[in-house]
A and B are shown apart, each in its own frame.
Chain A
Amino acid sequence: MKEVHIEVNNLTMAYDDFVIQQQLNFKIHKGDIFIVMGGNGCGKSTLLRHLLGLKKPAKGEIYYQNKNLWAISEAERKKIMRSNGVMYQSGALWSSLTLAENIALPLKEYTDLSDHEIQGLAYFKLALVGLVGFEEYYPSEISGGMKKRAGLARALALDPDILFFDEPSAGLDPVSAKLLDDLILSIQASLGATIVVVTHDLPSLFAIGTDAIFLDTMSKTLIAQGAPNDLLKNCPNPTVQQFLSRGMNE
């Protein structure tokens, strides 16, 4: 049995009085590529913000290797947060810094490396995602797909234990989306990190997912869990079937 990396226990997410999802219970195992899927507006990105520790749950707990994220001290929580790498939907690169500086900033903050070594590392991480020659560009000067890849390079900066992806293929053409999937797979293979992907892009979730949950908008809770390919074959729930088969089985 694989080790549990993140455990979510009876989580309710809400903005003020407006409940988005409730009674979520699931475990993310070490080394999995865990997919969070669901229709538009079902709270996928909100779940991501909760998992990242950016938003406090309205009810329930989130455990990182048996540590309750909101019962430990702030310093400890920050330490856990720092071991997460995140690639945001739009890249979320800091617009006033060049790509290399974007990657160097966390390194400067949390390592004792010399400036020269930091620059070397930043260039190396950019090379990993295929952005050699763009190190001194500002985020506004590169294309959307490149921003995503640079965002991935920044997420890799501190060699994270868990990598989170918020809709990695959104806004990418099929070929670039495929390239990004391959990149995710090869990083997973070489770093052994746990990967959590929020997506509703079917080709990519079938290609990379080893475990998944499905959030439903109507019942406001998760209605299926398992590997995406198994879900397609075996899940009896019509909503899940409709989603995974793009409404073809109607």
Chain B
Amino acid sequence: MKKCEFKLLIGEKNIAEAELQGDWLIGNVVPDIESVKQQLQQQNCTRLNLNSKQLGRWDSRLALFLFELEKYCKQKKIALDIHSLPTSVQGLLKQASAFPVRESGNKDKQESSFIASVGLVTLSIYNETQKMLTFVGEVCLSALRLMRGKACFRQRDLWLIMQECGPGALAIVTLISLLVGLILAFVGAMQLKIFGAQIYVANLVGLGMAREMGAMMTAIIMAGRTGAAFASQLGSMQVNEEIDALETLGISPIDFLVLPRMLALIIMLPLLCLYADFMGILGGLMVSVSLLDLTVVEYLIQTKSALDLNDFLTGLIKSSVFGVLVALSGCLSGMQCGRSSSSVGDAATAAVVAGIVSVVVADAILTVIYQIIDF
């Protein structure tokens, strides 16, 4: 590549001549447009003639340079003569300025002041809350219709979704809750060993899993797995106008799509939670037997004496609440999805975030309530 140059010669009567030399290609170093502008400014030119006798190869790089130069010349009222340039360059330049600038084209992004943006955020929170409450209301109405036997959805859909979010999640729930049980036991064992109270690892793991971790971990897994799936399923139906098609036929999309998903998760999450409780206890047992010299029977008897049915019940109640929350946030984000494929991704993200946050908040609230009513 030959070096490219822009040689500016100031002639008489403020008429400037410029010579374009070398290869004006993308990747080649071209003269800085700003310094050219400065030179023109200093010389106070009224006319600029461009020559291209020694111009080598060229591509859009040259066109861009000339386009900017032309804009500058127009602004400063310098007459720019490009007649001696190759006709193809002239054509390109002409095409670039052929279309009028549309005023509504570039949305003007005004920097809003701090107070204005606080106001906007507050308004959007208000709107979002309103939308969410509307959705919850619609789901409640639809649940009422279900109880009166008037809601329309296909039972096969319900079974399929139940299979997908129940048995389909068994493997990952097994792995996670086994490991959580293991971790609980391990941390507990280190501390309890100091007092020679290793046997109480069983209490720690049993109570921890049944009252707290079983429900919480399954809910978080399901938020990431099923909540996101719900959001993207409903979102892509929104993109594909399938939900419009339901509405025009007078079939409520809430009844037909949201209700079976809610039901499936509300039924399956407590079952998964119970399963996770036992898996966690199994994890604790593995640590205790291998590290703490406890026998299997000792551990199980201790667990049995530490736990009563109420403990499992607290976890199960929690997990049904979590089921509602995860399904709601998944379906809500899906139904509110925009009409492009990127908004499906946003909907899935929003569903997982909202699901996990609401699960943890609800867990905290429920734990406090249990404390107060001594459950």
A residues whose Cβ falls under 8 Å from a Cβ of B: 49, 52-54, 78-79, 81-82, 84, 86, 88-90, 92-96, 105-106, 109-110, 154, 158
Task: Indicate if B89 sits at the interface (CB-CB under 8 A).
Answer: no
Task: State which of B157, B236, B245, B251 has its C-beta within 8 Å of the C-beta of A88.
Answer: B245
Q: Are A94 and B245 in contact (CB under 8 A)?
A: yes
Inter-chain CA distance A105–B251, complex, in Å, is 10
Question: Most B CB atoms within 10 A — which of A81, A90, A94?
Answer: A94
* Chain B count of residues within 8 A CB distance of the other chain: 15
Inter-chain CA distance A57–B275, complex, in Å, is 51
A55 to chain B, nearest CB (A): 10
Q: Are B247 and A81 in contact (CB under 8 A)?
A: yes
Inter-chain CA distance A88–B248, complex, in Å, is 11
30 contacts between A and B (CB under 8 A): A49-B244, A52-B244, A53-B248, A54-B244, A54-B247, A81-B247, A81-B249, A81-B250, A82-B248, A82-B249, A82-B250, A84-B248, A86-B244, A90-B241, A92-B240, A92-B241, A92-B242, A92-B245, A93-B245, A94-B245, A94-B246, A95-B236, A95-B237, A95-B240, A95-B242, A105-B249, A105-B251, A109-B249, A110-B249, A154-B245
Q: Are B248 and A81 in contact (CB under 8 A)?
A: yes
Q: Chain A residues with Cβ under 8 A from B246's Cβ?
A: 94
Task: Indicate if B152 sits at the interface (CB-CB under 8 A).
Answer: yes
**1/0 contact trace for B232-272 toward A, CB 8 Å?**
00001100111011111111000000000000000000000
Q: Chain B residues with Cβ under 8 A from A82's Cβ?
A: 248-250
Given contacts A79-B250, A110-B250, 5 further A-B contacts (CB under 8 A): A52-B248, A81-B247, A81-B249, A95-B242, A109-B152
Q: Is the interface of A mostly helix, strand, loop or mixed?
A: mixed
A62 to chain B, nearest CB (A): 14
B residues whose Cβ falls under 8 Å from a Cβ of A: 152, 157, 236-237, 240-242, 244-251
Q: Are B247 and A92 in contact (CB under 8 A)?
A: no
Closest 7 pairs (CB-CB, A-B): A92-B241, A78-B250, A88-B241, A92-B245, A82-B250, A106-B249, A86-B248
B238 to chain A, nearest CB (A): 10
Inter-chain CA distance A235–B1, complex, in Å, is 58
Inter-chain CA distance A96–B248, complex, in Å, is 18
Residue of A nearest to B237 (CB): A95
B251 to chain A, nearest CB (A): 6
Q: Chain A residues with Cβ under 8 A from B240's Cβ?
A: 90, 92, 95
A7 to chain B, nearest CB (A): 20
Q: A106-B249, A109-B251 are in contact. Are A88 and B244 (CB under 8 A)?
A: yes
Inter-chain CA distance A52–B240, complex, in Å, is 17
Inter-chain CA distance A90–B243, complex, in Å, is 13
Q: Are B242 and A93 in contact (CB under 8 A)?
A: yes
Residue of A nearest to B245 (CB): A92
Inter-chain CA distance A79–B248, complex, in Å, is 10
B275 to chain A, nearest CB (A): 28
B259 to chain A, nearest CB (A): 15
B261 to chain A, nearest CB (A): 12
Residue of B nearest to A164 (CB): B248
Inter-chain CA distance A36–B249, complex, in Å, is 22
Residue of A nearest to B127 (CB): A16
Inter-chain CA distance A52–B237, complex, in Å, is 18
Inter-chain CA distance A27–B250, complex, in Å, is 24
Q: Chain A residues with Cβ under 8 A from B237's Cβ?
A: 94-95
Q: A96-B157, A109-B152 are in contact. Are A89 and B251 (CB under 8 A)?
A: no
Residue of B nearest to A87 (CB): B245
Q: Are A106 and B251 in contact (CB under 8 A)?
A: yes
Inter-chain CA distance A53–B152, complex, in Å, is 21
Q: Are A89 and B241 in contact (CB under 8 A)?
A: yes
Q: Chain A residues with Cβ under 8 A from B250's Cβ?
A: 78-79, 81-82, 109-110
Residue of B nearest to A166 (CB): B241
Inter-chain CA distance A158–B240, complex, in Å, is 22
Q: A95-B240, A95-B242, A109-B152 are in contact. Are A54 and B251 (CB under 8 A)?
A: no
Q: Are A54 and B248 in contact (CB under 8 A)?
A: yes
Inter-chain CA distance A96–B236, complex, in Å, is 12
Inter-chain CA distance A154–B251, complex, in Å, is 14
Q: Chain A residues with Cβ under 8 A from B249's Cβ?
A: 81-82, 105-106, 109-110, 158
Q: Chain B residues with Cβ under 8 A from A53's Cβ?
A: 248
Q: Chain B residues with Cβ under 8 A from A49's Cβ?
A: 244
Inter-chain CA distance A86–B247, complex, in Å, is 11
